[in-house]
Amino acid sequence: MSNSSALNRTIDKVLSQREAELISKIDSSYQEALSNLEASRSNLQSEYNRILETSRKQAENLKRQILGSKRLSARNKELVLIEEAVNTYFEKAKERLGVLRKDKDYRHLINEILEECISAMDSNEIVIECNEKDLGVVSEEIKNVSKKNAKVKLSLSNTSINVIGGIRAKSGDGSMTYDNTVDSRIERLKPLIRKDIVQMLRGE
- What value, to the nearest 5°, has the Cα angle with vertex 119 and ends 113 and 122? 130
Residue 158 phi/psi, 5-degree rounding, is -80, -15
The whole-number average pLDDT for the span 2-19 is: 64
Residue 37 has pLDDT above 70, yes or no: no
Query: What would the pLDDT profile of 100-153 be if each residue is shown by its tens digit?
Result: 666 677 888 889 989 988 888 888 999 999 999 889 889 999 999 988 888 889
- Tell me how far apart the terminal alpha carbons of the chain are, to the nearest angstrom: 118
Give the 3-state secondary structure percentages of the chain, helix then strand then coil, rounded to 5. 75, 10, 15
Extents of the domains making up the chain: 101-195
The pLDDT of residue 1 is: 47
Q: What whole-number distance in Å separates Cα of residue 81 and Cα of residue 74?
A: 10
Output the average pLDDT for the chain. 77
**Residue 117 one-letter amino acid:** C
Please list, residue by residue across 19-44, b when 16 or more beta carbons sit within 10 angstroms of its beta carbon and e when fewer do: eeeeeeeeeeeeeeeeeeeeeeeeee
Answer yes or no: is pLDDT of 2 > 60.
Answer: no
Residue 178 burial (C-beta neighbours within 10 Å; 0-12, 13-18, 19+): buried
For the 101-195 domain, the top CATH level (class) is: alpha beta
| pTM, 2 dp | 0.54
**Starting from the edge strand earliest in sequence, which strands make up the sheet with 125-129, in order?**
153-156, 125-129, 166-171, 177-181
Complete DSSP assignment for 100-137: HTTSHHHHHHHHHHHHHHHHHH--SEEEEE--GGGHHH
Distance between CA atoms of 138 and 202, rounded to whole angstroms?
Answer: 43
Residue 130 has a pLDDT of 92
65 vs 139, higher pLDDT: 139
